[in-house]
Structures are given as structure tokens and as C-alpha cells.
Amino acid sequence: MDKPKLDRRHFLLGSAVAATAGVAGALGAKVHDGELGAPPRTYQGGVPWQEGLADAPPGVSGTDYKFFTAAEREFIEAAVSRLIPNDEVGPGAVEANVPFFLDRQLAGPFGRGDHYYLGGPWAKGAPEQGYQSRFSPAQMYRAAIGAINKYTHANHNGADFAKLSEDERDALLKDFEAGKVQLEDGVDAKAFFTMLLQNTKEGYFSDPIYGGNKDMGAWKMIGFPGAHYDYREWVSRHGEPVPFPPVGFKGRPGWNSET
């Protein structure tokens, strides 16, 4: 892949934001997702095609954490296990491997804010104006986890958020959700909560190729067949259960064994 001469990533993140990034690879983006990233091309004479070419999904491999520190991981597990707790109905967020999903998301293009405009000037803005933080998601998580622990240290006898009881964590999360807590270090608690809840549901319900939704447990719980493409035979079979077992981009157990 050619590196574009005009690297907007560098330009935008420039000094102000990138300096505080603290995220490995924050400046490593070579090609922009979507536009003005690939080399300019001229097409003439027909629809182009090349064998074997695929804009395949950016799935993850391995099991190691790349973004969260051990303490941050504890925080995340303590938080997402409350957002989606484990019980007999279905897996919890931790059981579905959502913390790992979040780690890999934050270590990659999403964490870098590849799809966020992060240039200044920055103002708080009205709620209708949406996300107005100067933080990329990775910066937001890092700063928010720090600020929340500072907050619990001050208000819960020096304990980290992760050490609080389930009820205490639930109460705090509700306060974040309602915008009732003021955090330090420029962190908007409600903005962080909104992002964390959204990303948690993403990790819970997205294709397992991204590291979450372990064993497609979340899909099994609700009855979503996943990446199945042809339902023609079922269109007119109103109200009947559809028998397809959930499948991800990389398959399901039946692809590899006869059971």
C-alpha cells in the first residue's frame, strides 16, 4: 500500500492531541478508512477487477491485551460485568469476552479516532451537538478510567472502582449515565458512559471475528442467526422458528466437525 503524500491524520492530530495520545500506533495510520487514503486512480474502459482481492474484515488474532494496563482491565471487567451481567439467560459481557474486544478496538483505528473529527477549537456545546471532546476514544477510556478511580478514591475510602460492590458500581454507573458526576481531567462522565455502553453492546453482539461475542453466545441468547445470507425459503413461513444455528464470518462448529 502506498503511503499517501498528504497524510491528513498527521495534520489533524498534529501536536495538540497526538502529544497526549499515549496510544501505540496512534500516528501509524497509513491509509484512511473511506476516502483520501488510497492512491488516486484513473478508470477507463471497463469495470476493474483483480482475482483474490477482498476488503476482508479487520479481525483480530491472539489473546494478548494490547491497550489496557492490568489496572485498566480490572476497571473494564468490573464495569462491563454490570452493564451486561452473567446469568442463566445468557452470557455476561465478561463471559462474552467483551473486555478483550474493547482492548483490540482501542488499540486500533477506532481507538485512534480514525472516524472522529478531533480538531479545535473545542467547546462543550449543547447535548444536541453530540460528541465535543478533544479525546479520541482511546484517550477517552484512558483518561476516564483514571478520573473515575480518582473519584472513587475520594468518595469510597480510597478504593478503585473495581473493588466496589456490585450495588455500588451500579449506582455509580447510573450516576454517570444521568450526568450527575463531575470528573476531573476534562472527562465528561456521561460522554464516557455513553461510549462504554455502546462499545460494550458492540463487543457483545458483533461478529466473533472482532474478539467478543464468544461462541456467539449473545446471538444464541436472542436467536439471531448471524451471517446467514439466504432466507428466501422462510419469507412466507410466517411465525415459524428458523432453524439455522448462528454463524460468524469464520464459521461455526459445524464447519469443522461433524457434530
Partner 1 sequence: MATTLKPVDAVIVGFGWTGAIMGQQLADAGLDVLALERGPWRDTSTDFATGFAQDELRYMWRHHLFQNVSDDTLTIRNNTSQTALPMRHLGSFLLGTGVGSGGVHWNGQIWRFLPSDFLTKSHNEQRYGKKSVTDYDLTVQDWGVTYEELEPHYNSFDVLCGTSGKAGNLNGQVQPGGNPFEGSRSAEYPTPPMPQTYGPTLFGKAAAELGRHPFPHPTGNLSQPYVNNLGAQLGACTYCGFCEKFGCGNYSKASPQTTVLPYLMAKPNFTLRTECEVLKVELSPDKKQATGVTYVNSAGEEFFQPANIVILSSYILQNVRLLLLSGIGTPYDPATGQGVVGKNYAYQTMSSVNVFFDDKLINPFIGAGALATVVDDFNGDNFDHSGLGFIGGAYIAGMVTGGRPIEMIYTPQGTPAWGKAWKHAAAKNYLRSFSLSVHGSCMSHRGNYLDLDPTYRDIHGRPMLRMTFDFTDNEHKMSDYLTDRAAEIAKAMNPREIKLNRRIGSWSVVPYQTTHNTGGAIMGDSPANSVVNKYLQSWDVHNVFSMGAGAFPQNAGYNPTGTLAALAYMSAQAIVQQYLKQPGPLVQA
Partner 2 sequence: MRILIRVVLVLIVLGIIGGAIMAWNLGRASALPSGPVTSVAAAKVITQPIADGPNAEQLRRGQYLVRMGDCLSCHLRAGGEPFGGGLGLNTPFGVIYSSNISSDPTNGIGNWTPDQFYKAMHDGIGGRGQHLYPAFPYPWFRNLERDDDDALLAYLKTTPPVAYKPPGNDLIFPMNIRFMVSFWNVIALHDAPKSQAPADAPPDWSRGAVLVRGLGHCSACHTARNLLGADKKGHDLEGGVLDAYVAPDLTGNQRTGLGRWSVDDITEYLKTGRNNRASAGGPMGDVVTYSTSLITDEDRHAIAVYLKSLPASPDTDIAAADAGSMKRGAAIFSDACTACHLENAVGQPTLFPPLGNNAVAQQNDPTGVLHIILAGMRVGPSPTRPSPLTMPSFAWKLTDQQVADVTTYVRNSWGNRASPVKADQVAKLRRKLDLVNVRLTDNSGDQP
106 binds partner 2 (CB under 8 A): no
Site for partner 1 in 8-37 (CB under 8 A): 8-9, 11-12, 32-37
Exactly one of 5, 6, 44, 128 binds partner 2 (CB under 8 A); which one?
44
User: Could you give the string, one character per residue 171-210, with x where binding to partner 1 holds by CB under 8 A and - elsewhere?
Assistant: --x---x-------------------xx-xxx--xxx--x
Rounded Cα–Cα distance for residues 76 and 80 (Å): 6
DSSP 8-state secondary structure symbol assigned to residue 4: P
223 binds, among partner 2, partner 1, none (CB under 5 to 8 A by kind): partner 1
Please provide the distance, in angstroms rounded to a whole number, between the alpha carbons at the two ends of the chain: 42
Identity of the amino acid at 50: Q
Site for partner 2 in 12-41 (CB under 8 A): 29, 31-34, 37-39
Site for partner 1 in 58-117 (CB under 8 A): 58, 82-85, 87, 89-90, 109-110, 113-117
Residue 158 C-beta: closest distance to partner 1, Å: 27
Cell matching residue 196: 462504554
- Only segment of 56-64, 142-150, 155-163, 179-187 that touches partner 1 (CB under 8 A): 56-64
Cell matching residue 101: 474486544
* Dihedral Cα 204, 210, 216, 218, nearest 10 deg: 10
Exactly one of 1, 6, 123, 126 binds partner 2 (CB under 8 A); which one?
1
Exactly one of 56, 123, 126, 235 binds partner 2 (CB under 8 A); which one?
56
Site for partner 2 in 142-171 (CB under 8 A): none
254 binds, among partner 2, partner 1, none (CB under 5 to 8 A by kind): partner 2
Residue 46 C-beta: closest distance to partner 2, Å: 4
Exactly one of 27, 38, 171, 178 binds partner 1 (CB under 8 A); which one?
38
Q: Please tell me the number of Cα atoms within 13 Å of 178 on its side-chain side.
A: 7
What per-residue string of b and e applies to 10-40 under the rule 16 or more CB within 10 Å gives b?
A: eeebeeebbeebebeebeebebbeeeebeee
Residue bearing cell 469510597: 156
What does each C-alpha distance from 231 to 218, 228, 240, 252 come to in angstroms? Answer: 21, 8, 12, 18
User: How many residues sit close enough to partner 1 to count as binding (CB under 8 A)?
Assistant: 94
